[in-house]
Structure 1
């Protein structure tokens, strides 16, 4: 393996690791041959598709493997074999010297305890803090991970927090003892871009402040580019490439790495064309099969030769400090996966909207009274969505973006009728939609489908996943049992799954596989409009590229319209025709996608763009970090809803006067801001201009 420029003995050494699970259904070779080093003061990014062995390698480093596991190779922490440590030594090590943050925070939090005591328990166990000290430290940790109202969060149970809030609690718990080695397994998947950017900065700060070593497991190459010093890429349980982050992004030496980089949405070209995404064909070499004497990537590789099927390539260094498990590392060129297609906005004529919303409003709760049922009103309801207007055209995509708490998911649920609106109109074509889904006609319910952020919640755990797809086909498409089964298999193949998955229960599928089943179920009813709430956030980059291309091709073939909610601005730009930017339940900007994401943009949109990770370690951009949190909207605002956090606030007018609607050239780009458009464009084009002290950092 390559040496580290930082020098010094590794904090963590993984040498030729093999992890095999012995299960009733057979042998699962989760890790076949993985080697990596993590040194103090560096972040090692561990990338690869689902099923590549990343998380198993991380669990092995913590000693978190069941007794039915066969482990080969070596795992050393500060030169000592982890496998030789007894239970007491491992208990002292975990949480104090080594900490881990998991992808699913629910697995780390006790559902019967409030979250404050759970974090305080770590501080008392490892730092001997008393009750007062641990409570104060817990509040500070919650503030550092941007949890709003940290003292209130202390008293809540895990089920009372959103997924993003739960993840921040777990990250705070991991940071509590300032560990020497921090292992992060997809820690920011459920977070919006501004919170993710803050967490990533916290991680980098920890690296510098206490000289910690960090192993960062993720499928997000933009995050890798932002935080990693070195990168290890895994495929089918093997490390296939290792290099510094700049070497890897500039000159990858394995075709698999090149394919992953081409799966990430890119900024548009100078003429406004959207660059297409590469799809890596097939699936990861199955862990149930023994490794042949061949390259495990051969069946998916565009460069494969006969030699690749006859010899397993070793890890070698074609360039000093850059290792690759490939027979032809120096023959890899940018076009090895073919030329990327470009799609230019055609400016097609807008047809009558499929979906139209006017003055949409949804409040949660009601006015509280001082004395239960009487007395003066003291606590207004939460204004989750306030007077929102939008249109979704035939065969077009409306993207909705904003931080957690902005009201995105509430709008999605109001559209499909899971949450009744309090006010406003919602029309599907020319028909008024009833507020609740039970009051809508069968035709209206069939015309609108939803894909949820958490696919587990939309799949019956007692039934095979194919049940939902076949049921939708029979109910809404009029197919018989045999035809429904056949079409369900075709739908699974279309989303990159083997038809055999139809007979599996949800628990046997990964989160990404469950999400693809949910998408297939949405397509099954041939709806007019699909509402997708963070539908690709759980997918790795190769599957995400496949699903995004699938959504685009399905839209071109069927003229299906989408309402697409996401915090990933690269995905938003790739898929959306129009964009709605929400903040605290209010629309702050709307218009055609390329206009909203280019200057001039609303200062809030500008902050979101600044926080979005870019898959380029040398990208130069303004850093804008917003202070505070999205406000809990109870009282009606007098001025701009974004005034308390705006880095470009110009004075009392922002607090006292509702900003006017400013329409950019062309008439289809509207933003609500007191700063004239010409001045906004100048400020954003010259990012070195000092921002006001309320938040921005140039």
Structure 2
């Protein structure tokens, strides 16, 4: 290949995409993943790439590395440092990847070998690309671990991936990507599966890296709060096209494409200054089908509230809105914030009646493992069990939603699995509409099993990879709802429409759907049985904001129509505020705070709740990052706490009393149902938190 000279490389953008188009040729036809993408990334710049699932974001990322399968037909050009990547030989590509271009994936476990310690895995990358001996490579690994904020970097390399938390795994992968000081760092949804505190520290790290290294960064995400935090410029992608591109502040303050305005309006917001909560807006329909050929019209026209005759007669080209701001829209000057309609006030839910709650749990306990004796069959116990849930109380009324929040390892998923019987409880009481529930699902009655359905965090694990997705929905309809075989197809199509998917997807296998699309199928399957209680474990974490808004409104509508209840587990505090009537805050298997939603998410709150709220990303580039960051991770509990369960990480710890005495249960300002477990009196907590909030506002305005 003909390499560019050093002068050309210095003057050229780091990465330049010119009319990139990627089509996958399959036995089912051609899938146009990318139709038209033109982008540039400069050195030291972070470009955020956003859009719904299936828009082609990840395909663009892989195209930058020429990392597409043989079934892909690529048109246009991808230039890296002035050179066309398509002209690189296989040997040159191997030298390029991991050295000058590195990638951080959404799931860190896909990048780490489970059978190797993490240190040698990074050493392998270093030895392949850099001329370093074994001792120098080991020292480089320690330096990399220090640079990404991993505690005890000297020993970290000796651990296997399964011995690390999700945040630690992601930091290791980022360290691996930085091993050879790459010129381009591609990050594909690197914080999606992380809880808010871990996500906040990773975002802090990325912002620091942006200032410390001169690499260009492509940051792919569907979380607009994350994009506002890290990006310098933002490109919005729809149906394989770049529909808007602008500097981050310009895009958030003055969006000029209807799709961008729609995405921003889908983000859950707290009540306004008038105290009134508004219904979440959503973008109707679904993304233009990748199997459909290009038409002589705007691809967004079927969903656009601004559509006119010109939009149906020709396809718009990117128009210059202002310096550095383009929008692929004929009527970009007519785009306003209220384009998708005025925000409507949410209907108030009726107060719960005095009937038995749908779900009642008292002193719920679940321990894992332990009980191993010193001499196998006798002697003292040498391995205590992990205390996943310790004396947890919760109550879910009919037609109400209980949100459960907390970091990874706090016991949220264990609570969900104990409720539905996938994990037998070790103590306490569980009741469904006043009837006792056996711990194991196999011991429960058929009516009890059909009255409770669960939606898992990873939809791939709940869908049969060998069968079309309609199998999961029609099976639930026939088994639990008593629908006949002939009626199940029609009802399945209705459910697909309800969760924002084209019924044509019913004949596809799970591997042919994106993660967000798979999650919508899982929700449709759960709704099929019309259960009394749906337990949703991170059910919207894999969804982009537009589909998330559709699903949240769908959940609310379904609840109003059927009167069913939800237990909703999430690490997104904006989502939990929107959907929940009550919130349970778990930490290390213990209840930190419990009560009405607005009371829990306002001042005063438990110091742990305060830390979670502080870490949540805000979809506003001008928002000043809050200062509270929790060091370390949730402890693995093999013995009971002597004092407060949160004392080891609490930023408001007041002394030895926190280490030596269990915290008292206090009533919060939310009334009899609002409980805070903390040694600090509630009025003092309120004063401390309001003072910190005032200082934060002063820093933001200065």
TM over 0.5: yes
Taking a change above 3 Å as real, the CA distance of residues 118 and 205 of structure 1, as seen in their structure-2 partners, is: same
Displacement of 1:125 = 2.1
Show the counterpart of 2:4: none
The alpha carbon displacement at 1:162 in A equals 7.1
1:663 aligns with 2:696: no
- What residue is the counterpart of 2:419 in the other structure? 415
Give 2:382's match in structure 1, choosing from 352, 373, 378: 378
Do the aligned partners of 2:392 and 2:590 also contact (CA within 8 Å) in 1?
yes
Structure 1 match to 2:481: 477
Instruction: Find the partner of 1:467 among 466, 471, 475.
Output: 471
Counterpart position of 1:20: 23
Are 1:36 and 2:72 matched, yes or no?
A: no
**Deviation, structure 1 residue 140:** 6.3
Q: How far did 1:490 drift?
A: 1.3
Using the size of structure 2 for normalisation, the TM-score is 0.93
Residue-by-residue CA offset, 1:623-675 (whole Å, 9 max, x unaligned):
21111111111111111111111111111111111111110232221111111
Tell me by how many angstroms 1:273 deviates. Answer: 2.6
| 1:61 aligns with one of 56, 59, 64 | 64
Change (3 A) 1:133 1:364: farther
Partners of 1:41 and 1:148 lie apart in 2 by 27
Q: Is the 8 A contact 1:164 1:190 kept in 2?
A: no
TM-fit CA distance, 1:146 = 7.0
User: 1:581 is paired with a residue of what secondary structure?
Assistant: strand
Shift of 1:195: 0.7
Q: What TM-score, normalized by structure 1, do the two folds share? A: 0.93
Q: Which of 190, 194, 199 is equivalent to 1:187?
A: 190
When structure 1 is superposed on structure 2, of 313-322 and 65-74 the one drifting more is 65-74
1:661–1:672 Cα contact (<8 Å) kept: yes
Deviation at 1:122, TM superposition (A): 1.5
| Aligned mate of 2:527, from 523, 528, 532 | 523
Do residues 639 (structure 1) and 643 (structure 2) align?
A: yes
CA change 1:148–1:454 in 2 (3 A) is: farther
Please state whether the residue corresponding to 1:623 is helix, strand or coil: coil
Q: Specify the alignment match of 2:362 in structure 1.
A: 358
Q: Could you say what secondary structure the match of 1:283 adopts?
A: coil
Q: How many aligned residue pairs are there?
A: 686
Say if 2:102 is the partner of 1:99.
yes
Distance change >3 Å, CA 574–CA 688, structure 1 → 2: closer
Q: Which residue of 1 aligns with 2:202?
A: 199
Corresponding residue number in structure 1 for 2:492: 488
Counterparts of 2:667 and 2:691, CA distance in 1:
22
Secondary structure at 1:256's aligned position in 2? helix
User: Could you tell me how far apart the structure 1 residues matched to 2:234 and 2:98 are?
Assistant: 25
Question: Over aligned residues, Cα RMSD in angstroms?
Answer: 2.4
Distance 1:255 1:156, change over 3 A: same
CA distance in 2, matches of 1:175, 1:353: 53
Change (3 A) 1:142 1:391: farther
User: Which deviates more from structure 2 when the two are superposed, residues 173-182 or residues 545-554?
Assistant: 173-182
1:676 to 659, 676, 681: 681
Q: Does 1:556 align with 2:565?
A: no
Query: Partner residue of 2:87?
Result: 84
Greater alpha carbon shift after TM alignment, 56-65 vs 612-621: 612-621
Q: What is the CA deviation profile of residues 368-401 of structure 1, one whole-angstrom value per residue up to 9, with x for unaligned ones?
A: 3444444433331111111101101111000000
Check whether the contact 1:555–1:561 (CA below 8 A) recurs between aligned residues: yes
Change (3 A) 1:110 1:622: closer
Whether contact under 8 Å (1:43, 1:214) holds in the other structure is yes
Q: Which residue of 2 aligns with 1:46?
A: 49
Deviations 1:501-538 (A, max 9, x none): 22222222221111111111111111110000000111
Q: Offset of 1:688 from its aligned partner?
A: 6.2
Selected match of 1:393 from 397, 401, 418 = 397
Rounded to whole Å, the distance in 2 between the matches of 1:149 and 1:404 is: 21
Task: Give the structure 2 partner of residue 234 of structure 1.
Answer: 237
Q: Does 1:321 align with 2:319?
A: no
1:308 alignment partner, SS class: helix
Q: Distance in 1 between matches of 2:218 and 2:624?
A: 25
SS where residue 357 of structure 2 aligns?
coil
CA distance in 1, matches of 2:503, 2:578: 29
Contact 1:146–1:629, Cα closer than 8 Å, also in 2: no
CA–CA separation in structure 1 for the residues paired with 2:392 and 2:155: 30
**CA distance in 2 between partners of 1:596 and 1:8 (Å):** 54
User: Does residue 613 of structure 1 match 2:617?
Assistant: yes
- Tell me, what secondary structure is at the counterpart of 1:507? helix
Name structure 1 gaps, 5 residues minimum.
Answer: 1-6, 692-698
In structure 1, C-alpha distance between the alignment counterparts of 2:454 and 2:666, rounded to whole Å? 33
Provide the C-alpha distance between the structure 2 equivalents of 1:156 and 1:560, rounded to a whole number of angstroms: 45
C-alpha distance in structure 1 between counterparts of 2:92 and 2:139, whole Å? 29
